[in-house]
Structure 1
Amino acid sequence: MKPIILASTSPRRKQILAQSGLLFKAVSSNYEEDMTLKLKPLDLAKHLSKGKVLSIVKKYPNHIIIGADTFIALKEELLGKPLTIKKARQSLKKISGKAVSVITGFTIIDTGTKKSFSKACVTKVFIKKLSTQEIENYIKTNEPLDKAGAFAIQGLGAVIVKKIEGDYLNVMGLPLYELAQALRKFDVKIL
């Protein structure tokens, strides 16, 4: 089997891929995500994940590279990582009491054969109605700052999630079931 590279340094993506039992190396892609591209959300997720892979493809000949990108869709608006307290507050106010779509796109490229595959997965997440105090208390933890949509389902953000429809790991950033199915096309079998 060819060596596997995860084009991400996200602790969550590394944890999820490690769960599969695959041996891999995680590297930063340094790809500049452009959330303003005029693409449909599922196409944008695939485009951004492919960009991450393509940004490192020349460094890893004869490898299998996996890239992923996650963001939140609230009707027509896309919410990525807020990065600032002000933007986190805005995002949490927007998603309060709403159902949002968490979209993760992933791309796999075999740099030896040039074979590639991209897919986008959607999980619906229902957020409880948040009081101003709950928003402020959550922001004080700093957890929302580097999470798509300003919440982490695997952390304290779990207390604001009423329910989900779809893949839990997709919300964390890597839909392992769908990824495992896709890896079979590259002769990588997890089970």
Structure 2
Amino acid sequence: MTLILASGSSIRLAMLGAAGVAVTVDPADIDETAVKAVHGGDDPALALALAEAKAIETSRRSLQNWVIGGDSLVSVDGRRFDKPTGRDDAVAHLRFFSGKKMRLTSAAALAKDGRVDWSQAAQATLHIRLLSDDFIHTYLEAEWPAVSYCVGVFRLEGRGVTLFSRVEGDYFTILGMPLLPLLGALRDRGLVAA
């Protein structure tokens, strides 16, 4: 039996690896737009739906194996943001974020044989300091294109930490996965050492 990560996220892979969880990467191929259309405005419900859809899709292609799905969402002032489509979009996102609170929701799901066995979402609030245009351009010069793959246009484990004046919530949730609950679910199923 193989444990599969249904995500191409390098940070999710690194978190699992650092925790001693060996996985094979097989990213899911789902229509996220269709999932978002069904689940509307509730970030935890949508993050769970996306994580579960990814886990299910990959598990259907890899029966008998356990699959981890994950997803993260960012909302600021009631507006949900996707990954930036380019550097100009990243500038626009950061200008909009300046001086506001960001709600970050991350979810993880475990599936086997095309069925979800466990899932959980967690949220964090990140207080973004006032960002000058000079800072935004200097920041993107240093962090682009790495942050082009990041919802929220930051990597907390990198220079993204300089965007914030305060952070409320679990570090792993902010990185992109509620890791501690996931590790508990893996232990409960005998997938990692207890």
Asked if residue 161 in structure 1 is aligned to residue 171 in structure 2, the reply is no
Whether the aligned pair in 2 keeps the contact of 1:153 and 1:161 (CA below 8 Å) is: no
Cα shift at 1:174: 1.6
Cα shift at 1:36: 4.4
* Alignment of structure 1 residues 29-178 onto 2, 5 Å: 29-34=28-33, 36-37=36-37, 38-111=40-113, 114=115, 116-141=117-142, 142=144, 143-178=146-181
Matched residues in 2 for 1:152 and 1:51: separation? 25
Matched residues in 1 for 2:179 and 2:136: separation? 30
Q: Give the secondary structure class of the aligned counterpart of 2:32.
A: coil
What is residue 6 of structure 1 aligned with on the other side?
5
- With 64-73 and 134-143 compared, the bigger mean Cα shift is at 134-143
Whether the aligned pair in 2 keeps the contact of 1:70 and 1:80 (CA below 8 Å) is: no
Matched residues in 2 for 1:165 and 1:43: separation? 20
Amino acid in structure 2 at the alignment position of 1:93: R
Poorly superposed stretches of 4+, deviation over 4 Å: none
Unaligned runs of 5+ in 2: none
Cα shift at 1:32: 3.1
Q: Give the secondary structure class of the aligned counterpart of 2:31.
A: coil
Cα shift at 1:149: 1.1
Normalised TM-score (structure 1)? 0.90
Q: Give the secondary structure class of the aligned counterpart of 1:129.
A: coil
Cα deviation code 1:132-158 (max 9, x no counterpart):
111112222313322111111111111
Cα shift at 1:189: 4.0
Identical counterparts, % of pairs: 24
Normalised TM-score (structure 2)? 0.89
Matched residues in 2 for 1:177 and 1:163: separation? 22
Cα shift at 1:190: 4.6
Amino acid in structure 2 at the alignment position of 1:139: L
Whether the aligned pair in 2 keeps the contact of 1:102 and 1:122 (CA below 8 Å) is: yes
Cα deviation code 1:109-163 (max 9, x no counterpart):
1228x45222111011111110011111222231332211111111111111222
Matched residues in 1 for 2:188 and 2:96: separation? 39
Cα deviation code 1:42-64 (max 9, x no counterpart):
11001111121122222211111
